[in-house]
Structure formats: structure tokens, C-alpha cells
Chain A
Amino acid sequence: MRSPLVRQILILVALALAPGIGQAVYFQHKISWKSPIPPSELATVDQTRAWGENVIWVDARPDDEFASDHVPGAISLNEDRWNELLPQFLAAWSPGKKVVVYCSSLSCNASREVARRLRKEAQLPDVFVLEGGWEAWGKKNR
């Protein structure tokens, strides 16, 4: 008599929990506004190595993170102080150079925004976002 009762309770509990668990798993990391960067606008750490001295590194992270550490020779250009920092970057830019923008990691958004503004507003060619950002660069260079 007890066994069917327990079974029924378990079935009902499982049925009751299923929608909640499903919803929790489905929405766990869902951020619908973030679209992927086209592959043509991405550069890997290995690719940037092949470009050698022909690269201008742009650090899109906040000032304190740039001050803490950055890719050697990188120029700080973030949207907190865009108007102030842009002329310094443009002074280092010359035609033919490839611009590689990075932020903290794969999930950050600052590098794609800085790259977009360099392409659209300053109309610079050859602007790339570093895949994996500072984290990926650190793994390959430390």
C-alpha cells in the first residue's frame, strides 16, 4: 500500500518541478542582445603574431585595468574617455597598419564597441577584435 503512494508522490513532485528546472536551465546565461562578431572582424592571438610589427594594439578596458597591465606597446582607448584618448591613438596610426582591439575576455563587449567606432566614425580599415581578449593573450604569452 505504501509503495504506490510513494511512487505517486514522486511522480507528482517530478512533474511539478520539471517546468521550473527547465526554465532555470534555459534562461541561465541567455543574453539575447549580444550578436556574434563576424569572423572577418576577429583576429586570434596566433594571427596577430604573424602580423608582427604591423599591428597597433588597442586596450579598450577601463583606465585602472590598463594601468595594472597591458599588451606591450598597447594604446589605451576606452569609451569612458573616448574624446581625450582618440587623438593619441590616431597619432600612432598610419595607413597599412592593422588595429587589434582587446578587452578583458571572451564575454566582454568593450572591444567590439571600440572597434565599431573606429570603423564607422573614424572610417579606419583593418580593425579587428582580439578573440578571447586580454585573457587569451595572457595564456599564449605568459
Chain B
Amino acid sequence: MSAAPSRSRVTGWHRRIARLVLGAAAVFWAVATFTFCVQTLLPGDRAELILNVKAGTFTQPTAAELAQINARYGFDAPLAVQYGRFLGGLVRGDLGTSYQTQGPVRAIIAEQAAPTLLTLSALALAWAIALLLTVPSAGRDGSLARLVSGFQVAAAVAPPYWIGTILLVVLGVKLRLLRVESGTGPAGLVMPAFALAIPLSGFIGQVIREEFARVLDQPFVTSARMRGMSDLAVRVRLVLRHAVLPGVTLSGWALGALFSGAAIIETVFARPGIGGLLVMATSARDVPLVTGIILAAAGLYILANLLVDLAYPIIDPRLRAR
């Protein structure tokens, strides 16, 4: 308590970061425990499942065959030991072995990392569209501003696959601007990213718009105008920083929603990606792969929300000073 004031504030700030990181780790641990429970406690014998997946048949394997698999995967150990091994593997980054390919799950997921860029680029694109439309039009009541706000409402409720199909037909088939078969290159990212980004931009835009209009009427904004600040400068340099806060909160959630959206949009554009992999792994009952993908997605989601929590005090320094 007798520490110098500036010093104690820094440690307080560090303590808050530490608390956030620990909280995120705890949530991840809970997710891991939950997926482990689902894996082990669901009905059906796992050894039988592995043999069937490998052979592609649905026969009743012999007891000897089952015992061999049980021993190899450690299913014969007590649950607590299995749980310990599972967590130990997670710490080392080992997500287990796929039932289908017999390869490590981590490698299979890592192969899909590049295509998964889709979700991140969609998020960035959504922000760009939302800002471009909202910043000049928020707080105005002209017909153009109303049109933009109407578009954002429509975009927010439009399903991504529907937008994707329209983009395919218009840009790919009619105008021949982009190839219909998108492939894995960066050019192939354009249409699916837009398909995912447009609805999300509607959501973000609406959330920002409301806050933007509110802040525009604040006395400190009028004060800045009284000092000769132009309307554009008021919007970009003054109001925007306040208005992005609810949008940032939304982004943590949006990243999770984009993952599930990506699975569908990848199918529309015939792209590889983590979404398609999850669909395939689920239909093949490849439990370790499904678990691995869920854990990876959950990890990313938790990480995104951690970043949001850390970004908040940077945008709003009042949270730090308190």
C-alpha cells in the first residue's frame, strides 16, 4: 500500500491482465473436460467404432480384436487416468489420433489452417464494410442515410449461403469477373469472404450506428465543432473511437458464428476448410478429429474474446485509470 502511486497502478493493470488470461485458460479447461466427457460417456463402444471406421463395415468384431484396440488406445485404463492423459496431451499440443487416417489430429487440422483464413478475412472485411457505410451516414436522416441503414438491416438478416449463391451467379457466371471454382489461392477467398462478411457487416454496422448517433449529440462533440472541427474529422477522429466499442464486443461472438457459417459457405464455393473437415469427420464418426476441431475452434473463440477484453482498456483508457 505504501508503493509509489504510478507503480501500484501498473501492477494493478498487470494483475487485471493476469486475471483475464487465467479466466480464459479456465474456460478452455472446462471445454476440454466437457468434450472428454462426451467422448467417454456417450453410448457405444469406442473400440468397436474404431474397427468399423477403419474397415468401413458394420460388423461385430471379436473380443480379441476389441481387446487389442482397447489396449492400444488406453481405453482399458480407469477414467481418471484417461482424463489425465487427455489433458497431458492437450498441454503438449497432442490432440490424439484420427480413427480414419490414423494420423495425428493436430497435423490434419494444421493443414486446414490456411483456408481457415476465410473466417479472419471475413471479419476484417465485415468491419471495413460496416465502417465505410456507417461513419458517413450515422446520425443523419437524409434519404441516402436511410437507404444505407435499410441495406444494413437487410444484410444482417440475409443468410450467407444465399448471398454466396447470388455472388456466384452475378460475379462468376454473368460477369465472369471471378472464377466459379474458387480453389485454394487468395483470389478464391474473395467471394466466400464477401458472402460471410456482408451479413456480419450489417450486424456490426447497426450496433455502431446507434452508438455513433448517440455520441454525435454529446456536448464534447459540439464543443469540438465550436473550435472549428469539420464534420468528417468529428466523425473519424472523435466519435468513431466511442462507437466501435459495442462492435468490438460483438466481434468476439462473431468469430464463433463465422466458424459455423464458414462450413456452409465452403460447400457453396467448393472450398476446403475447417468447416468441411468438421462435417466430414462428424459423418464418419471420427471422434478424436471432431474433438480436436471443436477444441481448436473453442480455443480460437476464447482467444478472440480474450483479445476483445484486452482491447477494451486500450480503446477506453478510463477502464485502465480506474
A binds B: no
Seen from chain B, the residues whose Cβ lies within 8 Å of a Cβ on chain A are: none
Seen from chain A, the residues whose Cβ lies within 8 Å of a Cβ on chain B are: none
